[in-house]
Chains A and B, each alone.
Chain A
Amino acid sequence: VTLLEQNPRWRLVPRGQAVNLRCILKNSQYPWMSWYQQDLQKQLQWLFTLRSPGDKEVKSLPGADYLATRVTDTELRLQVANMSQGRTLYCTCSAGNWGTYEQYFGPGTRLTVL
């Protein structure tokens, strides 16, 4: 059973252009939603956890700037800007936080810099 949908699945991003990603939760029993990035060396790194509609956070990391928004109980968005190196963005969902609950990953959005 698919818990998360991500779109687009891949995107070519001209240098200097921002891109908007969406993640849709298919099962409301897993309301804790997060974003992770995976770099070209396959290292996974947590970016954000947004629990409630209206939550919004920004972060700047080497190679990209991020703006994450929890739009509704079932929709998470991520804007990626100033990207200088390709990466894959994953959203996750979980029934709770901390170790009692595992996180489930979406299929990912692969971004390539033109």
Chain B
Amino acid sequence: GDSVTQTEGQVALSEEDFLTIHCNYSASGYPALFWYVQYPGEGPQFLFRASRDKEKGSSRGFEATYNKEATSFHLQKASVQESDSAVYYCALSDRRPNYNVLYFGSGTKLTVEP
């Protein structure tokens, strides 16, 4: 079945550090890939997506590039801020008529110290 693996469970950084959160996927078809962010007490928020190989998604300074060969969609940000502290989820969506399914990774908790 389809699945997403996030390597890091927790990441602790200082402001202005470079961020990488690793995401690898397994899917039978050609999935769309997503990043979501969740702040405490809130529902997950869509960050960005990519639907085809080599496409870059980006938002709020975060970016990731769809790599079909490596089955990866790693999240990066050049300079993190304290306000970026949250849980980040990588997800995939495969084509399923009549359904709208996101398969999520286990999440990565990012803590940014001032």
Would you give the shortest CB distance from A100 to chain B, in whole angstroms?
7
Q: A46-B102, A94-B100, A100-B51 are in contact. List 19 more A-B contacts (CB 8 A).
A: A34-B100, A42-B87, A44-B44, A44-B104, A44-B107, A49-B99, A49-B100, A51-B98, A90-B43, A90-B44, A97-B98, A97-B99, A98-B32, A98-B94, A98-B100, A99-B31, A99-B49, A99-B93, A108-B42
Would you give the shortest CB distance from A57 to chain B, in whole angstroms?
11
- Chain B, interface size category, equals 20 to 34
Determine the chain A residues whose CB is within 8 A of the CB of B101 once the complex forms: 34, 46, 49
Q: For residue B34, which residue of chain A has the nearest CB?
A: A102
- Chain A stretch 67-113: residues in CB contact (< 8 A) with chain B: 90, 92, 94, 96-108
Determine the chain A residues whose CB is within 8 A of the CB of B106 once the complex forms: 41-43
Docked pose: A111 CA to B44 CA in angstroms: 17
- Chain B stretch 27-68: residues in CB contact (< 8 A) with chain A: 31-34, 36, 42-46, 49, 51
Docked pose: A97 CA to B98 CA in angstroms: 8
Contact with B along A35-73 (1 / 0, CB 8 A): 010000111111001010000000000000000000000
Name B's interface SS.
loop
Which has the most chain B C-beta neighbours within 10 Å: A36, A92, A102?
A102
Determine the chain A residues whose CB is within 8 A of the CB of B42 once the complex forms: 107-108
Q: For residue B91, which residue of chain A has the nearest CB?
A: A44
Determine the chain A residues whose CB is within 8 A of the CB of B32 once the complex forms: 98-100
Q: For residue B89, which residue of chain A has the nearest CB?
A: A44
Q: Given A42-B87, A90-B43, A108-B43, does the pair A99, B99 have CB atoms closer than 8 Å? A: no
Determine the chain B residues whose CB is within 8 A of the CB of A32 once the complex forms: 100
Q: For residue A91, which residue of chain B has the nearest CB?
A: B43
- Contact between chains at A103 and B104 (CB < 8 Å): no
Q: For residue B48, which residue of chain A has the nearest CB?
A: A102
Docked pose: A1 CA to B65 CA in angstroms: 29
Top 4 A-B pairs ranked by shortest CB distance? A99-B32, A105-B43, A97-B100, A44-B104
Interchain Cβ contacts under 8 Å between A and B, 24 examples: A32-B100, A34-B100, A41-B106, A43-B104, A44-B107, A45-B104, A46-B103, A49-B99, A49-B100, A90-B44, A94-B100, A97-B96, A97-B99, A98-B93, A98-B94, A99-B51, A102-B34, A102-B46, A103-B46, A105-B36, A105-B44, A106-B43, A108-B42, A108-B43
